[in-house]
Structure 1
Amino acid sequence: MEKTEFLEKNIFQNLKNLNDGFDSDAIHYFSESDFESVLERIEQFGIGIYEMKPRQEEDFLDVKVNEDYRKKATDPKWYKKAFSDFKKQQANMKYSASYKVSDKLLSRHSEVADEDLSENED
């Protein structure tokens, strides 16, 4: 399973991508409330965030990266703090992030998907 497929199935599911062509198709943008759900889900899976970028209309406001907080990408303390700081700066922004999904997590979910397929064939 690839990182993009994993994120679509497990993290972005039932959330609205607000990227209507103002950025690369591969980058998902979410409302404040949906991005909060993204953060909760990635914490459950142990996924990290390298950088977080909010937008107001078409403008980037700032970028925060895990090194700014002297934390590992997978440490939820940094991305929760960054999100909180952004929300205090301005409301109703669109949020995107770059994610760290471990190969171990991807292969584990690929094996589960393969098992599901073989069970359905029986």
Structure 2
Amino acid sequence: MEKTEFLEQNIFQNLNNLNDGFDSDSIQYFSEADFETVLERIEQFGIGIYEMKPRLDEDFLDVKVNEDYRKKATDPKWYKRAFSDFKKQQANLKYSASYKVSERLLNRKSAADIANESAAQAEEEITNEE
């Protein structure tokens, strides 16, 4: 499974992408509330954030990276603190980030998908034999 596919299916699902063409199509922007959900979900999966970029309307405000906080990308302390700092600085921002999704997580998810497909095929074969 590709990183973008994994993020779409597991992290961004049921959230509203606010990027209406002001940035590259591959970059998703979220409201403060939705981005808070993104942060909760990535913490559950052990996904990291390299950088966080908020926008006010069409303008970038600032960029915060994990090195600014002397933390690993996967340490939730840094990205929660950065998010809190941005919220204090300005309300109603649109948030984007660059994510670190491990190959191990992508492969594990892919293996789970394969196992589910195999189980569904086996069940279908049994049904067809009857």
TM-score, normalising length: structure 1: 0.98
CA RMSD of aligned residues (A): 0.6
* One-letter amino acid of the structure 2 residue matched with residue 74 of structure 1: T
Offset of residue 119 of structure 1 = 1.9
Residue 73 of structure 1 aligns to a residue whose secondary structure is coil
Name the aligned partner's letter for residue 12 of structure 1.
F
How much has 1:43 moved relative to structure 2?
Answer: 0.3
Deviation at 1:116, TM superposition (A): 1.4
**Structure 2 spans left out of the alignment, 5+ residues:** 123-130
What CA distance in whole angstroms lies between the structure 2 residues aligned with 1:115 and 1:38? 27
Does structure 1 residue 76 correspond to structure 2 residue 96? no
Matches within 5 A, 1:1-122: 1-122=1-122
- Partners of 1:42 and 1:114 lie apart in 2 by 23
Q: Radius of gyration: which is bigger?
A: 2
Range that drifts further, 110-119 or 77-86: 110-119
Q: Size of the alignment, in residue pairs?
A: 122
Task: State the secondary structure of the residue aligned to 2:53.
Answer: strand
The alignment partner of 2:73 has SS state of: coil
Distance 1:52 1:28 in 2: 12
TM-score by length of 2: 0.92
Q: Following TM superposition, by how much is the alpha carbon of 1:120 offset from its aligned partner in structure 2, in angstroms?
A: 2.0
1:33-91 CA-partner distances (Å, limit 9, x unpaired): 00000000000000000000000000000000000000000000000000000000000
Displacement of 1:16 after TM fit? 0.5
How much does 1:121 deviate? 1.9
3-state SS of paired residue (1:30): coil
| 2:53 partner letter | K
Shift, 1:118, TM fit: 1.7
Query: Which runs of 5 or more residues in structure 1 are unaligned?
Result: none
